[in-house]
Amino acid sequence: MSPTLRPSRSLADELRARSDENLQELFSARPDLLSPLPTDITALAARASSSPSIARVIDGLNSWEIQVLEILAVLPQPLTIDSLLAVADTNAAAPYKKFLTLALIYVDEDQIRVLNSVRDTLGPEPAGLGPVGLGDRKRWIKKIEEAPASAKAMLEKLTWGPPRGSVSDVKRPTSTVSWLLENQLLTPVDNQTVALPREVGIYLRGNRVHKERLDTPPSYAGKALTREDVDSAAIGAVLEILHHIEELLHFWAGEPAAALRSGGVGVREIKRASDELGLEEKYLIFIAELAYISGFVGVHNEEEFLPTPAFDIWRNRTLEERWVEIVNNWLSTSRVAGLVGKSERGYIAPLGPEIDRCAISHLKKVTLNLYAEITPNAVDIGALAERIKWERPRKAFGSHHDFVHWIAREAQWLGLTGRNALTSFGAALLQGEELTGMEQLLPKEIDYILIQADNTAIAPGPLQVDLAREMSLIANIESKGGATVYRLSEHSIRRALDNGRSSEEIKKFLAKISKTPLPQPLEYMIADIGKRYGKLRVGISFSSYIRCEDEALVAAILADKKLAHLQLRQLSTTVLMTEGDTHEAIDGLVESGYFPALEDRDGALVARKHERARTKVKPRPPRISGDLATPSDDLINAALRALRAGDKAAAHRKSAPVAAGSPSETMATLALAIKSKATVAIGYADSDGGVSERVIEPIHLIAGILMAYDHRSDEVLRFSVSRISGVAIVE
């Protein structure tokens, strides 16, 4: 009598036998398995072995792990852990355990089973080895030793790959190829291609699969530094980038950047802003992108880029809060500022639609985690790029080094790193911790200025928000760094008057916050402008008018050629009419050196606010990502319960589907289940008329209502007995 053959264990069997803890590890490492939730373990196994899911997992392996997986894929069956370690060394033990956790392989009776989809994903020639041959091993080993020199030379060329060679016609080969084919040392692929069989290739490689073992990650450590060195170097970059974002958006508020029809900002606008602000173009593009991804700037009427109200909200936050917001936006965005410029397809514009790359957010995470591993020491950027290539070889691409250099450069500009090392506050932000060290490094907000004899005012630190807002109204910022230099001028004083401040209020404010006395010339200038301001009035009746009690001044305005565009007409010696609106009239008069004020219909002065141009708040650019977030513990636990319940229901359906029963049979079975605390499967009519199968644990039955714990929803639910079509106890 022949022995009974035991059926091979499947992946579903292996997953079903796993503990909840093991399945939790699997779901944390492979979140795509829960989206959407499989109905049972069999469905989970099908998804876990699907090609897209397998490819996602393998893309996350490092170079050594991929080498070990290739070894598993090419070694002949039956395959055991001993045969793996014999080829790959004991260093393969850790990747092997990882593959078990990830369900890339499983063990059946001490034999390692590699999923077919894993082999398919690795490709037809893993590790540069050819197709599987079927020859007698002892025979072809002997033939290799007896091979003529020309045959040995051909085998040597194919040994380390690629394993394929071209021939003119496989049916009429040369003598060397003919000898190799006859002795099964080559195998025909098609009429013009031959290949080295996989087993022959491994033998010729000295029973190795790879020429070089990549089990040691490349070093990327640079200069040794102290944490103080790194943090002090980076804090200046933090202050600079916050200031430069403000500068750029203030500039665009006054002189909006024209929007391209195809989207984004053109070369001329970038150069104009770069020249105006004295910033390198690449850096300016980066801060423009930061503002864009943060929602601080948007397109107005599809014509120009303007700041949004979100920018004003951001400006009123503390330095630390502002920095955290822009860094978090940078970490999560899929936009790559480094791509801006000329390309094979033409010009790629900043703030345009062509710079999204879904892998960049993950690459930033990998890069900064490597910074964190050796902090506070610096990294060698070139070596870092090679290390990242080792970490994720399947995700590396032609411009991989460029992307790593861009990330390193932008992290330095942001102040996440200093002197090519991760800062303490950068590390805290990446870990989601409180930035305790940053507050001590940032300059404290101050409540005073120092007014100089040349009508400048110096704030030797960041002013309190309300004082900074008032100073930006009264004066213009000339320079900003560790200290801010303000310039008080006729134009800036007039701006404050237009916004409803009086000359006395301006003097009192400056005297209150200045630790130095107000220079007499400055006091005279403020008083003189205040005296002249408002004598010349602009208003609107049936059309716009200009009036002044000083007849000589009215005559001078009428004769002023610089005001010809206003098309002035004299109604009386003290009143002029204009074709322009009131704002055009005031702007024209101011540009010509006059001091007009706006009045209402009753002759009362109206504050003419010099608000910076704003566009409506726009949705932030969408983030394009190929990554799935790690599921929460609660989600994983709920998924586990649902899978176990689904598996239990599936097993019951397979053995004995829930059959319809009479109401008395249903009540009797439920009563028995409550008494014995048994699990039951029920057929239940849903509100839409369909019947679904539920796995429940009955608790009590009162007046035709069953209270029971439902495995799939993990809740105690009410079931109407009249809607239960059948019930069966689950063994």
Whether the predicted pLDDT of 315 surpasses 50: yes
Closest CA to 532 of 541, 524, 540: 524
Mean pLDDT of 207-217: 92
Whether the predicted pLDDT of 713 surpasses 60: yes
What whole-number distance in Å separates Cα of residue 250 and Cα of residue 229?
33
pLDDT in tens, 607-665: 665 555 677 766 667 666 666 778 888 888 888 888 887 777 666 555 555 667 778 88
**What pLDDT sits at residue 4?**
42
The least confident of 104-113, 286-295, 475-484 is 475-484
Question: Which DSSP state fits 730?
Answer: -
**What pLDDT sits at residue 266?**
92
- Long-range contacts for 358-362 (Cβ within 8 Å, ≥24 apart)? 358/334, 358/624, 358/625, 358/626, 359/395, 359/626, 360/333, 360/334, 360/335, 360/336, 360/403, 360/407, 361/331, 361/332, 361/333, 361/334, 361/623, 361/625, 361/627, 362/395, 362/625, 362/626, 362/627
Whether the predicted pLDDT of 433 surpasses 70: yes
pLDDT in tens, 337-373: 999 987 777 789 999 999 998 889 989 999 999 999 9
Could you count the other beta carbons within 10 Å of the beta carbon of residue 567?
10
Q: Report the top-level CATH class of 656-729.
A: mainly beta
pLDDT in tens, 451-476: 999 999 999 988 887 888 789 889 98
Mean pLDDT of 271-299: 94
Domain ranges of the chain: 137-204, 227-440, 450-531, 534-606, 656-729
**What pLDDT sits at residue 599?**
81
Tell me which fold the domain 534-606 belongs to: Translation Initiation Factor Eif1 (3.30.780)
Q: Which single residue is written with the structure tokens 């644990």?
A: 697
What whole-number distance in Å separates Cα of residue 123 and Cα of residue 642?
35
Higher pLDDT, 686 or 314: 314
**What pLDDT sits at residue 340?**
93
pLDDT in tens, 553-595: 888 888 888 888 888 888 888 888 887 777 788 888 888 888 8
Please state, for a pLDDT cut of 70, what percent of the chain lies above it. Answer: 93
The amino acid occupying position 567 is Q
Whether the predicted pLDDT of 335 surpasses 90: yes
User: Mean pLDDT of all residues in the chain?
Assistant: 87
**What pLDDT sits at residue 228?**
92
Please state, for a pLDDT cut of 90, what percent of the chain lies above it. Answer: 45
pLDDT in tens, 5-17: 445 578 988 999 9
pTM of the model: 0.75
**What pLDDT sits at residue 250?**
86
Mean pLDDT of 19-44: 90
Higher pLDDT, 647 or 179: 179
**What pLDDT sits at residue 2?**
38
pLDDT in tens, 75-107: 987 789 988 988 888 889 999 999 999 999 999
Question: Which DSSP state fits 449?
Answer: B
